[in-house]
Amino acid sequence: MLKERKIFMDAKMLIEKKQDRATFTNSIRSILDEYENKEMPGEKKEELDKLEKQFDEVDTLILREEKQLDRERKIGEKQDESQDGIKDDIVNLFSEYLTTGSKQSYEEYNALQQSNPTQAGYLVAPEEFQMDIIREIADSTFMRQKCKVLPPLQMAQSLGYPTRTSGMSSFAWGTEIQAPTADSSLAYGKREFKPNPGTSEILISKTLVRNVANADSLIRSEISEEIAKNYETAYMTGSGALQPLGVFTASDDGIPTSRDVSTGNTATEIKFDGLIEAQETVKDQYQSRCEWIFHRDAVKQLRKLKTSDGQYIWQPSVTMGQPEMLLSKPVNRSEYAPNTFTTGLYVGLYGDLSYYWICDALTMEIQALMELYARTNQIDYITRIETDGAPVLSAAFVRITLA
């Protein structure tokens, strides 16, 4: 009951904070409207700066609290689930390994080991631990929520998909006895996903591990945060060489420069006309699921844009769980999207994110080095996860560039 009341109070506070954010937005609009075509006095500039700072602080608090509420909900769901006895034994053995490095007999932990049981400390995580890692990464990385995540590889090193590189062009109107013309333009290629390894290493005090209730939870949260940060960085700006190909990386294998639009923007700012130019570059077939991606520095610019009749185009969210909107489309914020406002650089993206595909390898491996840092009373945990990702249909995307 107390836990339910705490979650209710947090949700109530979140609604109040969103109302505060809307109030700050209206106050900022009022000042900008009042001094739209005239010099703003110093005291008003100070007031405007203060309001924008308050907005940013409340906005950051809202995003943090929403993530925490979702975590608490999932913890509650997990605690309410009945646990299978055999699965408990597997998880407990894995936790004991992470905590003490104890070597059980092969019969006791063969479900946790890889092919060679004699290699001390090298194992495949039990299913519950591995799936928790995947869920936490998805919560922290919006791309893994919005994009298409393919089934994990099991019996191959790469995954190939056929792609149509050119359509047919042989149809022709004619008479009843006219012979058809054979098509010669239809062509197919292949899109290949080859998950590349990503590694993470953390050192944790043996004293800390010995005294925490669940060592695997501590390690999981640290690994998840590190992996999520690097995943999203790669999905945004990855080079495609031994890592995913990012949406903001120009490539004929993903989104080429022909999908870049700068018309309507200046050399330092995104403009309303530039957003319209970008939005209308995407065909109607993909518009229904299109979304925006911007860094918060770009959002700060966009919140001040108005139509010719003085109406702001930014639509802040005032309801928990609902996204902010721009030109009637959801906005995704990413700290890893480009935010340098200089001539010709990328500052945003518009597109159907379901055409960004992600392919993971099946195995997540954790190696616990119990003795390597014994002199400093630490345990070294090394994690390896394999993934790949790339845009698969350039027509579903457009990048926003400065003039």
Residues 346 and 279 in one domain: yes
Q: What is d(CA 129, CA 342) in angstroms, rounded to the nearest whole number?
A: 44
Last residue of a domain, one of 50, 80, 110: 80
In a domain, 172, yes or no: no
Range of the domain at 377: 124-163+187-403
CATH of the domain at 228: 3.90.1690.10
pLDDT in tens, 249-260: 999 889 999 999
Span 117-132, mean pLDDT?
53
Residues 25 and 155 in one domain: no
Closest by alpha carbon to 385, among 100, 159, 137? Answer: 137
In a domain, 176, yes or no: no
Last residue of a domain, one of 80, 111, 135: 80
Last residue of a domain, one of 63, 80, 97: 80
Residues 222 and 295 in one domain: yes
Residues 251 and 359 in one domain: yes
Residues 43 and 133 in one domain: no
In a domain, 395, yes or no: yes
In a domain, 373, yes or no: yes
Backbone angles phi, psi at 202, to 5 degrees: -135, 145
Residues 142 and 20 in one domain: no
Residues 198 and 327 in one domain: yes
In a domain, 194, yes or no: yes
pLDDT in tens, 331-366: 999 999 999 999 999 999 999 999 999 988 866 777
* pLDDT for the residue numbered 185: 65
Residues 152 and 46 in one domain: no
pLDDT in tens, 51-93: 888 888 888 888 888 777 777 666 655 555 544 555 566 666 6
In a domain, 129, yes or no: yes
pLDDT in tens, 180-236: 777 676 565 666 788 888 888 888 888 877 776 677 777 777 788 888 888 999 999
- The count of domains in the chain is 2
Residues 317 and 218 in one domain: yes
Residues 239 and 312 in one domain: yes
